[in-house]
């Protein structure tokens, strides 16, 4: 519950809150970090993309930014850090990661679900409610969540290891969007921190950020294919919209109106009514076109396309649907990019892909985020599909090398994902009242090659 109310915390922390916080700490568990407040002095401050204080001070108090500016009075009892020759940036935000989340197969792989002995494999589909067993000790085929998990909250399941958290921070990532890896309706997107002031594992920042649609399949029942999943997704949203109509009539006392109270449809109602954004997992040219078409058909506004790895090939579809592209920095392998075959097979072509064509594709893949930003599509960087953290900054650097402006890149790793995740009040810029999430590097350039991260602050705690 604490996680959900965090955004409602008043900007100026009253004493009562500090007391309440202390009360929630397990008395048997000692705090591993003192609640230190810091003054980062003589430091170049990039408060937001394009907004720079050349030499100033950032003051933290109780995990939040207490003051920022060229002339800040530093109170007593604060730890001073002279950061001459350094720059402090807002902590980076990885808009979508599955690190720390359970596999979407979770609900189907419990003891209770696997019938003893199992049965032989079967070609084609079975009926609804068929047994799930595939026999003996053979590993289960990749499967997806049952559709009824649409209400599952990623933040409730976020259980990263210390090493995973460290990996995020080592790349300057202080906030993450939590998006399941696979599934059909695997649950809802959340937002979390990659550390916390009291280190009590309360990383969650926001639940119910978005409704994830992943176009997976059910193993032994409908839908068993992508083409089935596409129809299933459309029907599910229509059902949720119908449920909303019935509920409205029910509340108005219309005779005969009775909601089904089907938990799956209820879970989808906010997204179906545009009260929550829908996050479609869509990466390739065709996946993006399909997701855009579904959003249009169902009247889903401002959809989010997680992956968007061939976004530059689908810019008209992205623009028309008003989508935000969550661009995975886990670049697609050149050999998998749509249309590569066009360079090999056709008139005057040799039957093999020329090296120049592959170099062009490799360049386009890295220039993707910049091309989208330039076309006016909101872009948020994410490590989705990759292993997170450590290489996040390196891949953003590659996007900059391929033509993306520094400010666009920084925006795609701070302000845009903060807005997308609905956590702008807490993170994304260095402003009074926001969480003290920073990245400190020597020199000016956060994304410069070989420039190590000096410090990372998450909720005012230094790492």
Partner 1 sequence: MRIMTRVVRASAIAAVAGGLMSAPASLPAQDVAIRNATIITIANGDIPNGTIVVRDGKISAVGANVTVPAGVRVIDGTGKFVMPGIIDAHSHGALEGGINEGSESVTPEVQVQVMNDAPMIYRSLAGGVTAAHLMHGSANTIGGQGRVIKMRWGASAEDLLFTGAFRIVKFALGENVTRASSTAPADERRFPMTRMGVDFTVRYWFTKAKEYDQEWAAYRAGMRSNPNAIEPRRDLRLEALSDIMKGDLKVHSHSYRGDEILMLIRVADELGFKVHTFQHVLEGYKVADEMAKHGAMASTFADMWGYKVEAYDAIPYNMALMSQRGVVVSVNSDSDERIRRLYQEAGIGVRYGNMSVNEALKMVTLNPAMQLGVDKMVGTLERGKDGDIAVFSAHPFAAEAMVEYTIVDGKVLFDRSQAATLRKAAEKEGGPGGTR
User: What are the residues binding partner 1 (CB under 8 A)?
Assistant: 119-120, 122-128, 130, 218, 220-228, 230-231, 234-235, 238-239, 242, 245-246, 249, 252, 254, 257, 285-286, 289-290, 312-316, 338-352, 357, 360-361, 364
Least separation in angstroms between residue 314's CB and partner 1 is: 7
Three-state SS for 436?
A: coil
Nearer to partner 1, 199 or 360 (CB): 360
Least separation in angstroms between residue 384's CB and partner 1 is: 21
DSSP 97-131: E-TTSPPTTGGGSSGGGS-SS-----SS---TT--
* Rounded-to-integer distance, Cα 419 and Cα 399, Å: 21
Nearer to partner 1, 77 or 129 (CB): 129
The candidate with the shortest Cα–Cα distance to 408, out of 445, 371, 443, is 371
Spacing of C-alpha 276 from chain mean position: 15
Least separation in angstroms between residue 150's CB and partner 1 is: 18
> Based on the number of CB atoms within 10 Å of its own CB, is 252 exposed (0-12), middle (13-18) or buried (19 or more)?
exposed
Nearer to partner 1, 36 or 352 (CB): 352
Nearer to partner 1, 123 or 163 (CB): 123
Nearer to partner 1, 74 or 249 (CB): 249
CA atoms 448, 449, 450, 454: torsion sign: positive
* Rounded-to-integer distance, Cα 139 and Cα 136, Å: 9
Least separation in angstroms between residue 130's CB and partner 1 is: 8
Least separation in angstroms between residue 347's CB and partner 1 is: 4
Least separation in angstroms between residue 362's CB and partner 1 is: 12
Task: List the structure tokens of 350.
Answer: 């040799």
Angle at 382 between CA 381 and CA 385, to 5 degrees: 145
Task: List the structure tokens of 341.
Answer: 């075959």
Least separation in angstroms between residue 408's CB and partner 1 is: 20
Q: In three state form, how does the secondary structure of 398-429 look? A: HHHHCCCCHHHHHHHCCHHHHHHCCCCCCCCC
Least separation in angstroms between residue 156's CB and partner 1 is: 30
CA dihedral (299, 303, 306, 307) in degrees, to 10, reads 80
Nearer to partner 1, 376 or 443 (CB): 376
Three-state SS for 158?
A: coil
Nearer to partner 1, 195 or 370 (CB): 370
Provide the pairing of β-strand 92-97 with 173-178.
parallel
Nearer to partner 1, 10 or 127 (CB): 127
The candidate with the shortest Cα–Cα distance to 168, out of 382, 392, 364, 324, is 392
């Amino acid at each position: 519950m604490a996680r959900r109310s965090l955004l409602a915390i008043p900007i100026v922390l009253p004493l009562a809150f500090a007391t309440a916080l202390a009360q929630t700490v397990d008395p048997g568990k000692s705090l591993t970090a003192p609640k230190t407040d810091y003054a980062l002095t003589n430091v170049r401050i990039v408060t937001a993309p394009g907004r720079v204080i050349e030499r100033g001070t950032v003051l933290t108090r109780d995990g939040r930014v207490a003051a920022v500016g060229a002339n800040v009075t530093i109170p007593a009892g604060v730890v001073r850090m002279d950061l001459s020759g350094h720059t402090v940036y807002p902590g980076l935000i990885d808009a979508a990661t599955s690190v720390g989340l359970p596999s979407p197969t979770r609900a189907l792989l419990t003891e209770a679900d696997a019938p003893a002995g199992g049965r032989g494999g079967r070609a084609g589909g079975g009926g609804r409610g068929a047994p799930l067993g595939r026999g003996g000790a053979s590993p289960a085929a990749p499967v997806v969540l049952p559709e009824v998990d649409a209400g599952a909250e990623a933040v409730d399941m976020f259980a990263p290891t210390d090493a995973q958290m460290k990996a995020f921070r080592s790349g300057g990532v202080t906030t993450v969007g939590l998006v399941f890896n696979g599934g059909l309706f695997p649950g809802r997107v959340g937002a979390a921190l990659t550390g916390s002031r009291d280190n009590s594992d309360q990383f969650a920042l926001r639940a119910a950020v978005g409704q994830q649609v992943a176009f997976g399949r059910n193993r032994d029942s409908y839908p068993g294919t992508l083409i089935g999943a596409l129809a299933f997704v459309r029907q599910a949203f229509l059902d949720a919209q119908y449920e909303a109509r019935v509920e409205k009539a029910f509340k108005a006392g219309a005779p005969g109106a009775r909601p089904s109270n089907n938990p799956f449809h209820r879970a989808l109602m906010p997204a179906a009514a545009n009260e929550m954004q829908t996050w479609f997992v869509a990466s390739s040219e065709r996946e993006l076109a399909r997701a855009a078409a579904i959003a249009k058909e169902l009247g889903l506004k401002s959809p989010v396309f997680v992956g968007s790895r061939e976004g530059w090939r689908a810019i008209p579809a992205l623009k028309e649907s008003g989508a935000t592209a969550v661009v995975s920095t886990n670049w697609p392998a050149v050999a998998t990019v749509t249309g590569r075959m066009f360079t090999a097979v056709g008139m005057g072509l040799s039957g093999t892909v020329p090296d120049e064509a592959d170099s062009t594709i490799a360049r386009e893949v890295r220039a993707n985020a910049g091309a989208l930003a330039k076309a006016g599509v909101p872009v948020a960087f994410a490590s989705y599909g990759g292993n997170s953290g450590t290489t996040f900054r390196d891949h953003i650097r590659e996007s900059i090398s391929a033509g993306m402006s520094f400010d666009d890149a920084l925006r795609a790793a701070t302000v845009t994902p903060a807005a997308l995740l609905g956590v702008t009040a807490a993170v994304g810029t260095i402003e009074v009242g926001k969480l003290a999430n920073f990245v400190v590097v020597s020199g000016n350039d956060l994304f410069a090659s070989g420039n190590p991260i000096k410090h990372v602050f998450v909720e005012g705690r230094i790492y």
